[in-house]
Amino acid sequence: DVLVVNAGIGVFGDPLEQDPDAIDRLFQINIHAPYHASVEAARRMPKGGRIIVIGSVNGERIPMAGLASYALSKSAMQGLARGLARDFGPRGITVNVVQPGPIDTDATPADGPMQELLYGFMAIKRYGRPEEVAGMVAWLAGPEADFVTGAMHTIDGAFSA
């Protein structure tokens, strides 16, 4: 009944120096996999099914150099949600993207080297907590979100404001 696509990788740095194979892998994991997983899940989902893709605030905002390929992959999730919402809406299946900003995880620890820089972009001067993102996902998976589809749901402490 519910698919949450939460896989993704980052490749950062000067696009003139990045390995093309690494960028292709990034696109396969961050773009191709969510698309194919969503389509395959929809084949089996009943009316009321939910597809929720974890994107990134970097699909909306690029605060520094070196994020082009990653941002491209995450902004593609916006097109995925809008397009598949149209395709699957008649079947009663919703498709949404959750776009976290800085979240305290192993990949982006709150006490890591980017803390001060990222705080400078945020109105709420702390990293988000995984359970806050999970709460948004749970709401989108529930019956209260039956009319919510094709939308981006940003949870970022106003990082993208």
Q: Cα–Cα distance between 101 and 122 in angstroms, integer?
A: 9
| Catalytic positions | 70
Bin 48: left if φ > 0, else alpha if -120 < ψ < 50, else beta: left
Two structure tokens written together for 23:
């960028």
Residue 7: phi and psi, rounded to 5, are: -100, 145
Percentages helix, strand, coil for the chain (3-state, rounded to 5) are 45, 15, 40
DSSP 127: -
